[in-house]
Amino acid sequence: EAQVTQNPRYLITVTGKKLTVTCSQNMNHEYMSWYRQDPGLGLRQIYYSMNVEVTDKGDVPEGYKVSRKEKRNFPLILESPSPNQTSLYFCASSLSISYEQYFGPGTRLTVT
Amino acid sequence: AQSVTQLDSQVPVFEEAPVELRCNYSSSVSVYLFWYVQYPNQGLQLLLKYLSGSTLVKGINGFEAEFNKSQTSFHLRKPSVHISDTAEYFCAAQVGAQKLVFGQGTRLTINP
């Protein structure tokens, strides 16, 4: 089954404790991206990757890091999480930006 | 300036009534436009997209949208809604070569 998986689905952590949210897709897609969803703000792009070892900033990259060492995986790293990063995070993949984005189920992160 | 603006944060309608969800985009974005739907506690899935060609685009679940270049709009319509259409709807546009920008979302509530 074609899908995008994210782990964990729910995470509660404390300020400053490094964490990684994993994202994996099995569709051989070149384009992957991370979004955060906040009430009233819709989805905002954090980072995107056009292919292995090629990443770039989206609209809200501050406080986040990503890597793309393999085509299927695109982890999101929060080196020192802060409460303003409490949000719902989605990973997505597609053949390219102009094609349908396939979204993962989301990761709900709470930073206290 | 906001690249994609959804004019209504919430739209309540009665079952079997028609509905229109409004979306305007700025001239700074490309004319690659999308509508995504998010059912409760799920990720987003594509309803329809406009890349070129006919300005009336048909999507899944009976939805359609019309691209209007002069009014910079891409409104989503359905002639008769069902309870199962209750969801949040997002308009999105490609910005530049590799970024996707979403509107703030419109919550559609169907009343019996």
For CA atoms A90, A45, B92, A49, the dihedral sign is negative
Which domains does chain B show, CATH number per domain?
A: 3-111 (2.60.40.10)
DSSP characters for B32-80? -EEEEEE-TTS-EEEEEEE-SS-SEEE-GGG-EEEEETTTTEEEEEESS
Chain A CB within 8 Å of residue B5 CB: no
Check whether the bond before A8 is cis (ω within 30° of 0): yes
Residues A74-109 have pLDDT tens digits of 999 999 999 999 999 999 999 988 888 999 999 999
**A72 and A24 Cβ atoms separated by less than 8 Å:** yes
* pLDDT of res. B1: 53
Tell me the shortest Cα–Cα distance from B17 to chain A, in angstroms: 26
Chain B CB within 8 Å of residue A93 CB: no
Residues B43-94 have pLDDT tens digits of 899 999 998 888 999 999 999 999 999 999 999 999 999 999 999 999 999 8
B42: pLDDT strictly greater than 90: no
- Return residues 10-39 of B near A (CB < 8 Å): 32, 36
Question: Nearest-CA neighbor of A29 among A15, A7, A48, A8?
Answer: A48
* pLDDT of res. B73: 94
Q: Which residue of B has its CA nearest to A97?
A: B98
Q: Which residue of B has its CA nearest to A50?
A: B98
Residue that is written with structure tokens 């099995």 in the block: A26
Mean pLDDT for chain B?
A: 92
Residues A16-41 have pLDDT tens digits of 999 999 999 999 999 999 999 999 89
Q: In the structure, what pLDDT confidence band is assigned to residue B27 with cuts at 50, 70 and 90?
A: confident
Question: Nearest-CA neighbor of B13 among B80, B100, B104?
Answer: B80
Chain A CB within 8 Å of residue B107 CB: no
Return d(Cα B75, Cα A61) in angstroms, integer: 30
* pLDDT of res. B2: 60
- Cβ of A101 within 8 Å of Cβ of B101? The answer is no
Residue A59: its chain B contacts at CB < 8 A?
99, 101
For CA atoms B5, A32, A98, B56, the dihedral sign is negative
Residue A85: φ, ψ to 5°:
-95, 5
